[in-house]
Amino acid sequence: MIPLINFIVMLINLYIWVIIISAVLSWLIAFNVVNMQNSVVHMIADFLYRITEPALRPIRQFLPNLGGIDISPIVLILVLIFIRNVVLIGWAVPLFI
């Protein structure tokens, strides 16, 4: 059971990094730092969008409109950290004793 929990924790950590990279790339695209006409940049941005959007869409529907500020990645990261630390790791600690 412990290797499965460790694997899920590793996947959550990886997904948190994907969310961070996606948010930074969206800022770079919004400020015209990266060129979306480049096929590699477009392919990476599309991949990150497809991976993160299914988890971010319900949060965006729940949060109020804050203008141009999107805090849904922050909310999702906090939820993932809660799941990782409290639910998974907190549940697995008694197994070590």
Q: Which pLDDT tens digit goes with each residue over 31-61? A: 999 998 999 999 999 999 999 999 999 999 9
**CA atoms lying within 13 Å on the CB side of residue 33:** 8
Residue 97 belongs to a domain? no
In a domain, 84, yes or no: yes
Q: How many CA atoms lie within 13 A of 16 on its CB side?
A: 16
Question: What pTM was computed for the model?
Answer: 0.88
Report yes or no on 78 lying in a domain. Answer: yes
In this structure, is residue 48 part of a structural domain? Answer: yes
In this prediction, residues 79-83 reach a mean pLDDT of 94
For the cut 80, the answer to whether the pLDDT of residue 92 exceeds it is: no
Q: What is the pLDDT of residues 2-36, one digit of tens each?
A: 788 889 999 999 999 999 999 999 999 999 999 98
Q: What is the mean pLDDT of residues 87-94?
A: 71
Which residue has better confidence, 92 or 76? 76
Query: What residues make up the domain containing 14?
Result: 2-92
Domain count, the chain: 1
